[in-house]
Amino acid sequence: MDEAEAEARAETKAEAEKRREERFLEVTEHFRRNALLIIQKMMKLNHSRDNQTIQLVDEILHSIFFLGKINTPPISPDRIVNEGLYDKLKDSYPQPFELYSSQLPRRSPFSCLLDMIVFLEGRENENEIKQKLQEIIRDLKLHKGAPLVSSTICVSQKNPNSARYYGVSMSTSSKVPRQIMIAASCLPGSWDSHVAGAVMSFNQDKNKKSYFDGTIKLPEHVTCKAYSLHGEGAPMQPCKSCVELFGLVGNKTTGYAHGNCAEVESVSNLFKTDAEVREQARPTSEKFTDDNRSKAEKSVRDYLMNEREIRHFSRDFEFYTPSE
């Protein structure tokens, strides 16, 4: 190879590299943009309360970095936050940087933002919570369906005078990350086990499992209402999948993936605190046995083991715990 030829080859390589980089920036633009804006917003909110919510910032960083890792193409933390902020964050929150590629998040990023707003506004102030989230979405121009943005919020109550429990829909980036997040949330340590059981009663193709039925019928006095986080914040009818999971009255024809909706996180949060209502909603199917449940859980673990992006995680699928 003479000198001219070598030079030409180097140039082509550099050009290919440049094209790859341009392509990367283009296809990951919305993820990177939303991730950065949400992180900055969380830091600001935390700062406004003298770092009382530092754990939520830590948790959202891990959740976002994890979703970046399992994105196609993968997006590493240094592609999400710029250099100055990267060093600052790594210094204050070292754990998310160390563990985003070996531990699973317990929930998707927007749930941490929801918790932050519930803390700031007060659990009983439902309207303020909804308004504040809508305001953030509007201000940051987080479009419906865009990566890392939830589209609905749900409020569950045992009765009209009791405490409110909130949830938001899965805030991932595309189908596979959403499936991974839903599967992970079914493992012990994330959703309430009855809620996880209800979700695991269905396969990813939305068909019901033949051997296991952990679906729930929420008691009459329990309310579970969802609202859009976009536009006017209109009430949303439960989709077919949520009707199947919890015996709600709603849409009979179309549904999202089981586990995707705000109802799921909201009911899970209610059950985690209220043992009485949880017991009342116990699944009643004959197929609801420990053995069948273990089999269903094994199928979830097998699915996670097969996912290329997280295949090297340990078989135990440890969840991330934010540092205090």
The footprint of Zn ion (CB under 5 A) covers 239, 241-242, 261
Q: Which is nearer to Zn ion, 237 or 294 (CB)?
A: 237
CB atoms under 10 Å from CB of 97, counted, come to 18
CA distance 24 to 133: 30
Give residue number: closest CB to Zn ion: 261
Q: Which residues of 59-91 are buried (b: 16+ CB within 10 A; e: fewer)?
A: bbbbbbbbbbbbbeeebebebbbeeeeeeebbe
> Closest separation between CB of residue 56 and Zn ion, Å?
25
Of 171, 119, 178, 122, which is closest to residue 148 (Cα–Cα)?
171
Q: Which is nearer to Zn ion, 157 or 241 (CB)?
A: 241
Q: How far is CA 31 from CA 148, 167, 179, 233, 290, in A?
A: 7, 22, 17, 24, 40
Q: Which is nearer to Zn ion, 266 or 292 (CB)?
A: 266
CB atoms under 10 Å from CB of 14, counted, come to 10
Q: Which is nearer to Zn ion, 71 or 151 (CB)?
A: 151
CA distance 268 to 156: 9
Q: Which residues of 169-179 are buried (b: 16+ CB within 10 A; e: fewer)?
A: bbbbbeeebbb
Q: Which is nearer to Zn ion, 216 or 261 (CB)?
A: 261
**Cβ distance 189 to 317 under 8 Å?**
no
DSSP annotation of 50 reads T
CA distance 261 to 187: 17
> Closest separation between CB of residue 262 and Zn ion, Å?
8
Q: Which is nearer to Zn ion, 118 or 264 (CB)?
A: 264
Q: Which run of H or E residues covers position 157?
A: strand 152-157
> Closest separation between CB of residue 251 and Zn ion, Å?
8
> Closest separation between CB of residue 84 and Zn ion, Å?
41
> Closest separation between CB of residue 229 and Zn ion, Å?
14
Q: Which is nearer to Zn ion, 184 or 261 (CB)?
A: 261
CA distance 309 to 323: 25
Those residues whose C-beta lies under 8 Å from the C-beta of residue 205, and which sit 6 or more positions away, are none
> Closest separation between CB of residue 197 and Zn ion, Å?
17
Q: Which is nearer to Zn ion, 38 or 261 (CB)?
A: 261
